């Protein structure tokens, strides 16, 4: 599905276009809530795993080795952003922008041991991507890291980390100033785990519940999703019989400046629908909805 390429206008950024027809209240909200810490909202949700677990078995039997819940969650977010594009906005320099791509930042353990370090990486998607595309891109990125290829984020962090503290503080101040004005080079934006549509973390692999993760004031990521271990529950059906069900809990942190609460509610209801019905992710969306001008 080919998407329209918009002409870059004065005031746009490398990673997104400035929204010029927002309601007036949005124009001054970033001046009142100056940081993502000021504008953070938190909520929790869960979904029944019955359909997802069946879907995972089918995918693995078809040859998608290692296919799992992470792929479903990411693909569900990508599909949601295709229908509710305002969740893919970001605030920078006290302006609100629509991001050009859907950029998901993940953290993984290189090896499952307490001594092993973590690696952060970013994968870019288009709103028309299917779950098979999500699987391929995520696994390709993970494979590179586990084959000891150093991610761009680690290379940049290694360079900065060698600086003396006063120089590092000054360097980060300059980077923040350049970012405010939209002058950071694309190479730094691509490497930064603080710039993107979403940060997602899998705490289920550690066997613990999800946390409410803070949003970073540095960069421009407006949404953080943490999901935990599977949870069993016993519920009574309409006939009075007790049934065992499995759920996955996840917690979401959002920057309320990018859209209103009603819009967020509708978007995450749609995402929950995709999580409960993952087969809809096999095909591209019938239509990709563009954000406002």
The contacts of residue 152 (CB under 8 Å, 6+ apart) are: 187, 190, 191
For the domain spanning 16-280, the CATH number is 3.30.559.10
- Locate 153 and state its tokens: 């984020």
Could you write out the DSSP letters of every residue in 166-216?
Answer: HHHHHHHHHHHHHHHTT-S-HHHHHH-TTSSSEEEEE-GGGT-PPP-PPPP
Give yes or no for residue 158 having a pLDDT over 70.
Answer: yes
Q: Please provide residue 221's backbone torsions phi and psi, each rounded to the nearest 5 degrees.
A: -65, 125
Q: Where are the beta strands (DSSP E) in the chain?
A: 16-18, 40-48, 89-92, 95-99, 102-109, 118-125, 198-202, 223-236, 242-255
- pLDDT, tens only, 55-89: 999 999 999 999 999 999 999 999 999 999 999 99
Judged by DSSP in three states, 30 sits in helix
Quick one: average pLDDT of 259-282? 97
Q: Where are the beta strands (DSSP E) in 16-69?
A: 16-18, 40-48
Judged by DSSP in three states, 161 sits in helix
| Closest to 22 measured CA to CA, from 262, 261, 259, 289 | 259
- Locate 261 and state its tokens: 């609460």
- pLDDT, tens only, 17-34: 999 999 988 889 999 999
Query: For position 109, what pLDDT does the model report?
Result: 63
Reported confidence tier of residue 117, pLDDT bands at 50, 70, 90? low
| Contact criterion met (CB below 8 Å) for 267 and 61 | no
Rounded Cα distance, 7 and 129, in Å? 23
The pTM for the full model equals 0.92
Query: For position 149, what pLDDT does the model report?
Result: 63
Domain spans of the chain? Answer: 16-280
């Amino acid at each position: 599905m080919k998407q329209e390429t918009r002409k870059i206008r004065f005031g746009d950024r490398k990673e997104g276009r400035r929204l010029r027809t927002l309601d007036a209240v949005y124009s001054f909200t970033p001046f009142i809530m100056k940081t993502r810490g000021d504008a953070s909202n938190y909520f929790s949700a869960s979904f029944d795993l019955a359909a997802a677990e069946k879907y995972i078995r089918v995918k693995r039997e078809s040859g998608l080795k290692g296919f799992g819940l992470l792929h479903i969650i990411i693909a569900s977010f990508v599909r949601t952003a295709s229908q509710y594009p305002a969740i893919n906005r970001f605030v920078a320099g006290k302006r609100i922008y629509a991001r050009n791509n859907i950029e998901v930042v993940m953290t993984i353990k290189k090896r499952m041991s307490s001594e092993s370090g973590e690696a952060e990486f970013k994968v870019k998607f288009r709103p028309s991507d299917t779950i098979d595309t999500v699987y391929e891109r995520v696994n390709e990125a993970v494979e590179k890291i586990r084959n000891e290829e150093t991610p761009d984020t680690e290379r940049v962090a290694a360079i900065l980390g060698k600086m003396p503290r006063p120089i590092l503080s000054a360097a980060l101040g300059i980077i923040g100033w350049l970012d405010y004005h939209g002058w950071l080079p694309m190479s730094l934006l691509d490497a930064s785990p603080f710039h993107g549509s979403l940060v997602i973390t899998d705490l289920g692999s550690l066997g613990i519940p999800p946390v409410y993760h803070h949003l970073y004031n540095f960069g421009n990521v407006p949404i953080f999703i943490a999901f935990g271990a599977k949870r069993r529950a016993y519920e009574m059906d309409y006939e009075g019989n007790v049934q065992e069900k499995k759920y996955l809990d996840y917690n979401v942190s959002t920057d309320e400046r990018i859209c209103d609460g009603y819009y967020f509610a509708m978007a995450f209801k749609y995402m929950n629908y995709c999580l409960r019905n993952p087969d809809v992710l096999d095909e591209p969306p019938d239509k990709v909805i563009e954000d406002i001008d």
